[in-house]
C-alpha cells in the first residue's frame, strides 16, 4: 500500500489482527526483509511494516534529515494511518529511530524491542572530527583515482568503521553523516517502558557491547545475546528471535 506523508510517497503494509506491532527495518533495507523473517508475528497480532523514507519503495526525504526527522516522520505516519501500536520493534537503524522517538516522547508505546540496534557512536568529539575529515578526504581526493567498483567498497569500509551497519548510500550521504554524529546512549536513559534487547554474538556491525550499554541505560530492560548469529540475528536464528519477541509481547 502507498500513502502520502509529509509530502513523501510512503510504502507500507498492515497484516494480521489483534494487538498492534510496528516493525522498522535497518539502513539500506526494506519492509520486505522483515515481512519475510518476522511476518509470523502477524499470526497472533497486527503488524505494521513501513519502508522508511529513502528506502524500499518510499520516496527520499526532500531535505537533510537526522534521527529527529525520522522520529517526527514516524509520528506523522502513524497519525495518517490512524494507528497507535502498543509494541515497537526496530532493527539496527530502525532501532535508533525508535530510541529517539520514545526517548523524546514523539511516539508512545507499551513495549519496545531493539534488534541489533545502532546508536552507540564515538565518544570523543575530536575523534568524530578526525573521522569526518577522513571521510571527506576519502570521498573527494584519494578515491577519485580508483575505479567505481573499488571506490564503493573502500568508502563502505570507512563508513562501516564510523557508523556500525550504516553502509553508504551516495544519495543519502548527508543524512548518513547526521545520523552517525549522534550518540543515543544517554538519551536511552529516558526510556522507561519494558524493553527487550536482542544482539547477535558474532555481530561486528552493532556488537553485543552496544546491547550492554543500552541495557545499563534502559530500565526496565532485558538483554539477550544470541549465539551463532551476526547483525541479522533475526535471519540467522529466526525461530529463537521470534519466540523471544512473542513471549515478550504476550507477557
pTM, rounded to two decimals: 0.85
- Please check whether residues 45 and 84 belong to one and the same domain: yes
pLDDT digits (tens, 9 = 90+) for 233-243: 999 999 999 99
- Please check whether residues 145 and 208 belong to one and the same domain: no
Distance (Å, rounded) from C-alpha 69 to C-alpha 54? 12
Q: What phi and psi, each to the nearest 5 degrees, are found at residue 187?
A: -60, -30
The closest of 206, 155, 204, 203 to 184, measured between CA atoms, is 206
Cβ-Cβ contacts under 8 Å for 148 (sequence gap 6 or more) = none
Range of the domain at 217: 2-120+182-250
- Please check whether residues 37 and 144 belong to one and the same domain: no
- Please check whether residues 99 and 215 belong to one and the same domain: yes
Which grid coordinates are listed for 172? 543519502
- Please check whether residues 109 and 147 belong to one and the same domain: no
Domain total in the chain? 2
Residue 142 DSSP SS3:
helix
- Please check whether residues 94 and 134 belong to one and the same domain: no
- Please check whether residues 134 and 50 belong to one and the same domain: no
Average pLDDT for 142-169: 49
pLDDT at position 183: 95
**Average pLDDT over the chain, rounded to whole?**
87
Instruction: Select from 177, 197, 212 the last residue of a domain.
Output: 177
Q: What is the CATH number of the domain that holds 218?
A: 3.40.50.1820
- Please check whether residues 23 and 107 belong to one and the same domain: yes
pLDDT for 61 beyond 90: yes
pLDDT digits (tens, 9 = 90+) for 9-52: 999 999 999 999 999 999 989 999 999 999 999 999 999 999 99
Distance (Å, rounded) from C-alpha 249 to C-alpha 243? 10
Q: Is 162 exposed, middle or buried (0-12, 13-18, 19+ CB in 10 A)?
A: buried
- Please check whether residues 161 and 216 belong to one and the same domain: no
User: pLDDT band for position 67 (50/70/90)?
Assistant: very high
Secondary-structure breakdown of the chain: helix, strand, coil percentages, each rounded to the nearest 5: 45, 20, 35
- Please check whether residues 220 and 199 belong to one and the same domain: yes
- Please check whether residues 54 and 132 belong to one and the same domain: no
Distance (Å, rounded) from C-alpha 113 to C-alpha 221? 10
- Please check whether residues 9 and 42 belong to one and the same domain: yes
Amino acid at each position: 500500500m502507498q500513502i502520502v506523508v509529509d509530502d513523501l510517497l510512503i510504502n507500507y503494509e498492515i497484516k494480521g489482527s489483534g494487538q498492534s506491532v510496528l516493525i522498522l527495518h535497518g539502513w539500506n533495507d526494506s519492509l520486505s526483509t522483515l515481512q519475510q523473517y518476522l511476518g509470523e508475528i502477524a499470526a497472533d497480532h497486527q503488524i505494521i511494516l513501513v519502508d522508511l523514507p529513502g528506502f524500499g519503495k518510499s520516496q527520499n526525504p526532500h531535505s537533510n534529515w537526522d534521527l529527529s526527522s525520522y522520529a517526527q516522520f514516524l509520528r506523522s505516519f502513524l497519525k495518517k494511518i490512524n494507528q497507535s501500536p502498543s509494541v515497537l520493534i526496530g532493527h539496527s537503524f530502525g532501532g535508533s529511530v525508535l530510541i529517539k522517538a520514545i526517548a523524546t516522547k514523539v511516539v508512545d508505546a507499551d513495549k519496545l524491542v531493539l534488534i541489533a540496534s545502532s546508536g552507540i557512536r564515538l565518544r570523543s568529539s575530536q575523534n568524530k572530527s578526525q573521522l569526518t575529515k577522513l571521510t571527506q578526504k576519502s570521498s573527494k581526493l584519494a578515491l577519485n583515482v580508483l575505479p567505481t567498483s573499488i571506490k564503493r567498497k573502500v568508502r563502505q569500509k570507512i563508513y562501516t568503521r564510523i557508523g556500525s551497519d550504516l553502509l553508504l548510500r551516495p544519495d543519502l550521504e548527508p543524512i548518513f553523516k547526521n545520523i552517525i554524529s549522534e550518540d543515543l546512549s544517554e538519551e536511552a536513559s529516558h526510556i522507561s517502558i519494558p524493553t527487550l534487547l536482542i544482539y547477535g554474538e558474532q555481530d561486528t556491525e552493532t556488537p553485543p557491547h552496544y546491547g550492554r550499554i543500552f541495557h545499563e541505560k534502559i530500565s526496565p530492560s532485558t538483554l539477550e545475546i544470541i549465539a551463532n548469529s551476526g547483525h541479522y540475528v533475526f535471519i540467522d536464528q529466526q525461530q529463537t528471535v521470534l519466540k523471544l519477541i512473542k513471549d515478550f509481547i504476550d507477557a
